[in-house]
Amino acid sequence: MFSGIVEVMAEVVTVKEEPPGKRLMLREAAMAAEAKLGDSIAINGCCLTVVEVDGERLSFEAGPETLSRTNLGELAPGDKVNLERSLAVGDRLGGHFVTGHIDATGVLDVRTDEGEWSTLWFRVPRRLTRQMAGKGSVAVDGISLTLVDVEAERFSVALIPHTLAITTLGCRDVGDRVNLETDLLAKYVQQLLETQAS
């Protein structure tokens, strides 16, 4: 379980084909110094397991299901990714409950920058917007954000300078794909309503 509060950005060092999956090696000295084999770390919001620690580098394996549902298969050396370690019992929950299980990807549709602030619109599958509401929560590339406006096939978020500076959203361009996870409670409410209606 995660909170959607990104701890650091890491650099992709290598992406190695390991059919049917891939091995991702990331450079992040501080996190690597504390990481252990088997730790769960969210990479752009996707929960993966640490399979190797080598100095300041962490390695992860991503299987075909992960690669088909996320933007991790598009990563290349030099790219930046958002990292968050799993929550420990008693941690503060600054964002919202994020499972690290990506629902789908979306595409940055419109970006409006006003000084150091930005409003981003993401185009998403209609099935996801049914689990969204204005002032509710969504995780975009692992970042817990508050929804501003929700339409049938897209939603917007307003980003403060701090979020833009410490996460990958600061360098996202129109057309970029992002990982999305809708609010866990919204999923259960939708499931309950659909079950009662059938």
**What would the pLDDT profile of 89-118 be if each residue is shown by its tens digit?**
888 888 898 999 999 999 999 999 999 999
> Residue 171, class by beta-carbon neighbours within 10 Å (0-12 exposed, 13-18 middle, 19+ buried)?
exposed
CB 115: neighbour CB atoms within 10 A?
A: 6
pLDDT classification of 187: cutoffs 50, 70, 90:
confident
- For residues 156-174, give the mean pLDDT: 97
The bridge status of strand 143-150 relative to strand 154-159 is antiparallel
Q: For the chain, what is the radius of gyration of the CA atoms? A: 17
- Given the candidates 3.40.50.1820, 3.40.630.30, 3.10.20.30, 2.40.30.20, the CATH classification of the domain at 8-85 is 2.40.30.20
pLDDT tens sequence across 7-64: 999 999 999 999 999 999 999 999 999 999 999 999 999 999 999 999 999 999 999 9
Dihedral over Cα of 108, 128, 138, 81: its sign:
negative
CATH topology of domain 104-197: Elongation Factor Tu (Ef-tu); domain 3 (2.40.30)
Number of H helices, E strands in the chain: 5, 12
pLDDT of the residue at 13: 98
| Cβ within 8 Å of residue 86, ≥6 positions away | 1, 2, 39, 40, 41, 42, 47, 100
The segment(s) of the chain belonging to CATH 2.40.30.20 are: 8-85, 104-197
pLDDT of the residue at 152: 97
Q: Which two tokens stand for residue 117?
A: 């602030």
Check pLDDT > 80 for residue 194. no
pLDDT classification of 185: cutoffs 50, 70, 90:
confident
